Each structure stands twice: as structure tokens, then as C-alpha cells.
Chain A
Amino acid sequence: MTTTSPYSSTSTSTSTPPRSRFQWRVIDIVVASVIGVASGLIFVVWNIASSPVTAPLQALLPGLQALGGGFWLFAGVLTALVIRKPGAAIYGEMVAASVSALIGNQWGALTLVSGFTQGLGAEIVFAAFLYANWRVSGAVVAGAGAGLAMAITDLVLWYPGSALPFIVIYTIAAVIGGMLIAGVLSWLATRGLAATGALNRFGAGREIAKRV
């Protein structure tokens, strides 16, 4: 198993100066897009399934349905964990939101606003860790950031008439859902992907390769 990608060795041998670890290679862009689009298709399924699935939660405690909102938050965290570049969380979440909006959903053009804020929530956390924490702790905090961003966006855009208990429960549920689904699940998925060898040309894959 090689530890340097054939790509980076050819690009540094040409006239271009060596790349910084924060620059996007073509493979980063294409694979981030693939992850974004695949996540967008999952969003489309969840757009329709979420209401009936989370209805019992809502009946249990109003606002608890935001737990399931985590399934709209994982795209940004997952993309960032795989690609490890600045802007990856925003980009992944935006591509997924665009797919969701173009196929058609109840939030219309505002899907893109949600996608941006949710991606930004995760991005700010990864940036605060100086794009150096890709462990489970970073993933969970980023998921919480995305969840908080989702709660703020949803409460302002869609539930402006709600009462205080609903606001509090919705926010807490969104953060927990973000931590578990967007954080832990994305981290597990990244580790699984790395173990298959599909990420050998990414930092996320090389780490695992060294350990084996």
C-alpha cells in the first residue's frame, strides 16, 4: 500500500509549487461532490419519510422530532471527515441541499439557506480545531455545531410562532441528533470507508493504512 498518492507526486514534479495541505486537488472536489450527491439522495428519502417516522417522538415531547434532523446534517460532517479541507463541510452540505431542492421538497429555495447554515455550523467547529481534529471528538462537536445551526435556522424560518418550551426542546434535540447521527455515524462511516481502501488517496485513508 503506497502512502503517497500518484497524483501529488506528478503535480509536484511539474512547474507548480508544492501544494499546501489546505488546497483542494481535483480528486478532492470530485469525491466531495460524489459524497454530497449521494447524501442528497438520502436527504430526498428522509424528506418524505421523516414526518411519519418522527411523529411518535413529537407526540412524546414536542420538539423531539429534531432528533431525526441529524439525517439532514451528516453530509457536511462526512465530507469534511473524508476530504479534510477548509470549506469541505459547507461544500458537501450545499451540494446535498441542492440535489434535495432540485428534486423538489417542501422548503423550496430556502433548502439552500438551510444547507449553507448547517454546513457552516460544522465548518466553524472544524476551523476552530484548526482543521487538525478528525477524530471522533471533532466529529461529534461538529455534529453538535451543525445541529445548533439547524435549530436556529428552523426556528426562525419555519417555527417563528412557537412557544418557549418548544424552542428549548427543539434546540437540545437538534444538537443531540447532530452529535449522534451527523457526528458518530459519519465518523464510523469514514472509518468503514477507509478500511475498504476506497480512501487510499486521502488523509483519512492513509491513517488507517498505517495502523494495519
Chain B
Amino acid sequence: MIPIASVNPVAKLGAGLLVSVFLIATIDWVSATTALVLELVVIAFMGIEPKRFWLRTLPVWVAAPLTALTILLYGRYDGEVYFQFLLIRISDGSIELALATFLRVLAIGLPAVVLFISIDPTDFADGLAQRLRLPDRFVLGALAAVRMVGLFLDDWRSLELARRARGVADRGRIRRIAGQGFALLVLSIRRGSKLSIAMEARGFGGDTPRTWARESRWGTAEWLTLVVGVVIGVTATVVAVLTGSWNPIVG
């Protein structure tokens, strides 16, 4: 079992990006399939509950065939044309590109979802500020806002109840959601303004150098995560080049 939850979030993000860089450089089914198979092997050892896995990766499974359909209908044509209607042209070439697109979306999307579900926003912010040295005021400001999401949800419920009490909750659903969304934005900006005063009162954003309550660790596990990302990307590229199907997107 791979203890992926304890790995530094920055490393998980890095691994996701590294795999993606190799995959977006080309559009062919060989590299995408190779990467996908390797990723599924790694994911199988992460011990994610099947129900959670399918639920969280559902958007990827929906998007992959839809993106592929676009390419199938409007992709570059090549070889025999099977069907043509206005701008739609299904050909040997577009079928191959569509298959490659389908596999590519899965190979980029699935590992990212699996890597990101175990990321805790606080750990992520610690990693971004301490390891990547991003400006701490901005990282912690963003973290403060992310932590307000729970309050957003409470506010949303209160707004709904208030509208129901006023008798304006049941008609014009889409308009009501838009109006309620705007009210929520007003509430959250007010709360953000108050929060910023409280943060400044406690010395946030001052001139003294910041110290950290939680150290963001970076060790063997983090390097290993990045290496796995590179290995998957390089293997996929090498296999595709060797089989002669590597098809760079530029040129």
C-alpha cells in the first residue's frame, strides 16, 4: 500500500503536472494507453475505496468521451471519409485522433483527481509558502478564504430559509439562484473585510519575518512521487517513439 495521503501536496501537484507535460506534447493512442495503464497500476496500490474512486472521477469519465466526440466530428481528416454532413467529417484520421483524445483526457484527469482528493488545504498552503516560496500573505489569504467555504454553505441555507419565510422561494428558480448567489457574494465580501481587519490586528502582513506553526516537510517520499510522475511520462513517450506513433502537437 502506498501512503499517498501523507505526501507533501506540492509533490502531488508536481507529479500531476509532470505526467501531463509529457502527455500533452503528443496526440497518439500509444503514449496515452501506456501512461493510463501505468497510472492505474499505481492507483490500485493506493487503497482508495472503489465507491469514492468512481464518484470523484465521474467528471473525467463524462468529459473524456465528449471531448473525443468533438474531435471525431470536427477533427483533421485523413484517409477514407465515412460520413460527411456540413462541417462534420468522420474519417480514418479523425477516428484515430478521437481515440487518442479519449485516452489522453483519462490519462491526464484520473491521476490528478486521485492525487488531489487527499490534499488538505492547510497542508497545501504550508507547502506552497514554505517549499515553493510563494508570497506568504497571498497564500495565507487564499487559505483563509478557502476555510470560509463552510460558512458560505451555512449562509446559503440561511438565505434560502429567509426567502422561504418571505414567500419568495418557490417561483423563478434560476433567477432566484442568481439573486441568492449575488447576496452570498455580498455577505462573503463583508465577512472577508472584517476578517482582514482581525488578521491585521494580529500582526498579519507586518514587516517582521513570518514563522511557521507547521513545518512543511520534504523528503524521500516527495522526491519519489515526482520520480514516479517523470517515469510514467518518459515511459509513455519512449514506447510511443519506438512504435513510431509519437505525434507531436506542434509541427
Contacts and interface: CB of A to CB of B under 8 A. Distances in A.
Contact of A110 (B59, B67, B108, B186): B108
Contact of B70 (A32, A62, A105): A62
Nearest to A32: B141
A38 B184 contact: yes
B121 interface: yes
A107 interface: yes
B192 A30 contact: yes
B188 interface: yes
A63 interface: yes
Contacts of A37: 142, 145-146, 148-149
A33 B87 CA distance: 43
Contacts of B17: 109-110, 112
Contacts of B200: 7, 26
Interface string A159-185: 111110110000000000000000000
B59 A105 contact: yes
Interface stretch (A129-137, A141-149, A189-197): A189-197
Contacts of B189: 31, 34-35, 82, 193, 198-199
A156 B121 CA distance: 30
Interface of B: 13, 16-17, 20, 24, 27, 56-57, 59-60, 62-64, 66-67, 70-71, 73-77, 87-89, 94, 97-98, 100-101, 105, 108-113, 116-117, 119, 121, 124, 137-138, 141-142, 144-146, 148-149, 152, 181-182, 184-186, 188-193, 195-197, 199-200, 204-205, 207, 249
Interface of A: 7, 16, 24-27, 29-38, 41-42, 47-48, 51, 58, 61-63, 82, 91, 95, 98-99, 101-102, 104-110, 112, 156-163, 165-166, 189, 192-193, 196, 198-199, 201
17 contacts: A7-B197, A16-B207, A31-B193, A34-B189, A37-B142, A38-B185, A51-B66, A62-B70, A106-B67, A109-B20, A109-B108, A160-B249, A161-B75, A161-B97, A166-B74, A193-B189, A198-B190
